[in-house]
């Protein structure tokens, strides 16, 4: 969690105090999310009929979260560096806009500066995608390895997968609905 937050925060924060605040806040939030994912994955495998103990299930879930987070963070860093190379003041402008809007209490969406997706910005998008795709493949392989480690059948794997995906989908939908209010 710590390394992932350093990777994401380094291109965004220009001063050391901002980076420390980003890393500490992000790590705390990440640990809470990882614990929640451990509970969700453990519960999904239990509902599917896996007979392993919760420690074994939680360790497998935390391995999934840690690996997925590192792939995401590395790709996000490359994406941010591409944006920053295309428009060096973009993160300062966004940060200032967020602080101003937070004080106004208006809750409006951020108006992103107009970026032409050429050069460094486009390279950042392409390179980050080349990191995200293997990360997604790793996540699928790790989920399948968890199935093998738990010695479960194919239908148990499908039940656990469906439960985790449905829960994450509902949470993502709810977050998007709340954000659009």
Distance of alpha carbon 92 from alpha carbon 132, whole angstroms:
26
Distance of alpha carbon 80 from alpha carbon 91, whole angstroms:
9
Sign of CA dihedral 177, 6, 34, 25: negative
pLDDT in tens, 13-71: 778 888 888 888 888 988 898 889 888 988 999 999 888 887 888 888 888 888 888 89
The yes-or-no verdict on residue 168 having pLDDT over 80 is: yes
Domain span including residue 54: 2-179
Distance of alpha carbon 95 from alpha carbon 144, whole angstroms:
40
Distance of alpha carbon 162 from alpha carbon 43, whole angstroms:
12
| Total of domains in the chain | 1
Closest CA to 7 of 88, 76, 106: 76
């Amino acid at each position: 969690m710590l390394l992932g937050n350093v990777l994401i925060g380094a291109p965004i924060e220009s001063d050391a105090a901002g980076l420390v605040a980003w890393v500490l806040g992000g790590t705390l939030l990440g640990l809470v999310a990882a614990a929640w994912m451990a509970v969700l994955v453990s519960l999904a495998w239990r509902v599917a009929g896996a007979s392993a103990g919760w420690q074994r299930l939680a360790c497998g879930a935390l391995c999934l979260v840690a690996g997925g987070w590192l792939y995401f963070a590395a790709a996000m860093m490359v994406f941010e560096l591409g944006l920053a190379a295309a428009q060096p003041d973009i993160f300062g402008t966004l940060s200032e806009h967020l602080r101003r809007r937070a004080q106004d209490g208006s809750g409006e969406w951020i108006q992103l500066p107009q970026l032409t997706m050429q050069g460094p910005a486009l390279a950042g998008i392409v390179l980050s995608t080349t990191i995200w795709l293997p990360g997604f493949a790793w996540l699928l392989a790790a989920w399948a390895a968890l199935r093998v480690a738990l010695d479960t059948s194919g239908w148990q794997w499908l039940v656990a997968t469906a439960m985790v995906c449905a829960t994450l989908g509902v949470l993502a939908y709810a977050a998007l609905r709340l954000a659009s209010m």
